[in-house]
């Protein structure tokens, strides 16, 4: 099933769209819209994961965690590294706590982003199963309505979902 707008093939352009086909196409169209929302959530979670990871590691030297305890080498240029460098001259437990708090915040930001990403992936997997089943039903319904298999596979579900109901001719009652 095509999801992009395009003109229907000439052989199917004038064919009526049965109500059952419109219903299945409308459901597919809604699922495609839901997929767009899930992809946006996936992208957002991925951006948050990258930001949290950058806050944690960007510019942090491999020996930075040792600095909390011995203060031997520079920590690097990340937010965490700046906290470590700030903690060293003070030497107090409060400064070390600030570093550990920042590490914990980064950890939980990564954890939340990962969980949200996994959840959206699972929703998308389930959606794909439903789309596949409905696409098969739509193709079968279109073929039963006289469409060729190729025209049915190439049909635009958004156009089918909004196809006008066939008009019936009515005679004016005699007066």
The C-alpha angle 41, 23, 26, rounded to 5 degrees, equals 30
- Give the H/E segment covering residue 111: helix 93-144
Mean pLDDT of the chain: 76
Residue with tokens 């959840």: 119
Q: What's the pTM value of the predicted model, to 2 decimals?
A: 0.64
pLDDT digits (tens, 9 = 90+) for 4-63: 444 444 444 567 788 999 999 999 999 999 999 999 999 999 999 988 887 776 545 454
State percent of the chain over pLDDT 90.
43
pLDDT digits (tens, 9 = 90+) for 103-152: 788 888 889 999 999 999 999 999 999 999 999 999 999 999 999 999 99
Widest Cα–Cα separation across the chain: 105
Residue 2 pairs in a beta bridge with 156
CA atoms of 131 and 63, how far apart (whole Å)? 50
> Which pLDDT does position 54 carry in this prediction?
78
The C-alpha angle 21, 33, 4, rounded to 5 degrees, equals 70
State percent of the chain over pLDDT 70.
62
Nearest CA to 13 out of 149, 169, 160 is that of 160
């Amino acid at each position: 099933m095509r999801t992009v707008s395009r003109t229907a093939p000439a052989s199917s352009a004038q064919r009526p769209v049965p109500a059952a086909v419109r219903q299945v196409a409308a459901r597919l169209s809604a699922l495609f819209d839901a997929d767009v929302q899930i992809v946006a959530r996936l992208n957002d979670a991925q951006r948050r994961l990258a930001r949290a990871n950058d806050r944690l590691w960007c510019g942090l030297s491999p020996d930075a965690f040792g600095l909390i305890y011995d203060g031997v080498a520079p920590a690097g240029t990340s937010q965490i590294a700046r906290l470590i460098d700030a903690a060293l001259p003070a030497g107090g437990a409060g400064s070390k706590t600030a570093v550990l708090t920042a590490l914990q915040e980064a950890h939980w930001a990564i954890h939340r982003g990962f969980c949200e990403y996994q959840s959206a992936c699972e929703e998308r997997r389930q959606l794909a199963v439903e789309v596949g089943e409905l696409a098969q039903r739509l193709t079968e319904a279109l073929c039963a309505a006289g469409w060729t298999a190729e025209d049915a596979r190439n049909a635009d579900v958004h156009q089918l979902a909004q196809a006008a109901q066939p008009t019936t001719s009515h005679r004016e009652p005699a007066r």
